[in-house]
Amino acid sequence: MTIEEFVKLRDYIYRKTGIYFEEKKLYYVEKRVKARMRAVNLDNFRTYFAWMRFDLSGCELQELLNALTVNETYFFREYQQLRCFAEEVLPEILQSKNGQHPKRVRLWSAGCSTGEEAYTLAIIMREMTKGLPVTWEIHATDLNTDVLEQAKKGLYGGRAVKDVPDVYLARYFRRVGEQFEVHPELRHQILFYRLNLLDRENMRKMADFDAIFCRNVLIYFDDASRREVALYFYDALRKGGFIFLGHSESMSRITPIFRLRKFKEAIIYQK
């Protein structure tokens, strides 16, 4: 793939999704494009690119995006932040709902990939609200339809569950050969669906969330798109709602509209 071809493809993907691949990613992109070309029996980039663009169903673009956006993740990733959610943020959310019966909590795992974060949140919610008059739901979205399919299956290898405390492993997973299957009850409490974070129409429908987890996702966006997504998140949160970013990410560098809250072991942004 020449640099001109890369730029052409990169700009096209950017226009369609807001995801931006820097030039240092040329080999990463090339490898995955070649795999797609092999899959559809095309051996010339120009032909492939033209074919993908004129494929009105959008299927090939989706396949290519699936190949380009697979991220490794695991249960209980960035543990301190999750503990902050469980022990400090969630009680505050529940406190703010005094007078509501039952208290209804809505969480969103944005860019959920293969679902580890969404299931982790489901485990936390079950543990922390046991015996309380609380109902909750978790929305888990991703652009990549392949990872969403995997997430719905809820079947994981040993690496993904390496940080799950033993007691939760026993309580929420079933061993299937070398793999671990998430308890069906947890699976039923999560709504997995495809969502492009830059899809204006659909992002506006996302509303009334108490917390959004969007960890290590915005790094794929350029500055302008990152701003746009952050503002959609702002609108999707209820007043006082929280947004959790990856621990090396900063909302202050994106937009000043969120308030910075310092908790014992984590810094979280709040509407």
**Shortest CB 262 distance to other proteins, Å:** 21
Among 25, 53, 175, 204, binds other proteins (CB under 8 A): 204
- Adjacent-strand bridge partners of 19: 221
Q: Find out whether the peptide bond into 91 is cis, omega within 30 degrees of 0.
A: no
Cα–Cα distance between 108 and 211 in angstroms, integer?
A: 6
Among 101, 256, 262, 264, binds other proteins (CB under 8 A): 256
Q: Active-site residue among 32, 36, 171, 194?
A: 32
Q: How buried is residue 98: exposed, middle or buried, by Cβ count under 10 Å (0-12/13-18/19+)?
A: exposed
Whichever of 18 and 154 has its CB closer to other proteins, that residue is 18
Q: Active-site residue among 142, 187, 210, 215?
A: 142
User: Rounded to 10 degrees, what is the CA torsion of 138, 266, 235, 77?
Assistant: -40
Task: Check residue 11 for interaction with other proteins (CB under 8 A).
Answer: no
**Shortest CB 106 distance to other proteins, Å:** 18
Concatenate the DSSP letters of all residues of 73-122 into one string. --TT-SHHHHHHIIIIIHHHHHHHTTT-SSEEEEEEEET-TTSHHHHHHH
**Shortest CB 236 distance to other proteins, Å:** 11
Subset of residues 214 to 243 that bind other proteins, contact rule: CB under 8 A: 223-224, 227-228, 231, 234-235
Q: Which amino acid is at 205?
A: K
Binding marks (x or -) toward other proteins, 41..80, rule CB under 8 A?
----------------------------------------
Task: Check residue 257 for interaction with other proteins (CB under 8 A).
Answer: yes
Task: Check residue 199 for interaction with other proteins (CB under 8 A).
Answer: no
C-beta separation of 123 from 85 below 8 A: no
C-beta separation of 145 from 182 below 8 A: no
Cα–Cα distance between 25 and 31 in angstroms, integer?
A: 10
199 is catalytic: no
Report the catalytic residues: 32, 142
Q: Which residues bind other proteins (CB under 8 A)?
A: 200, 204, 223-224, 227-228, 231, 234-235, 255-257
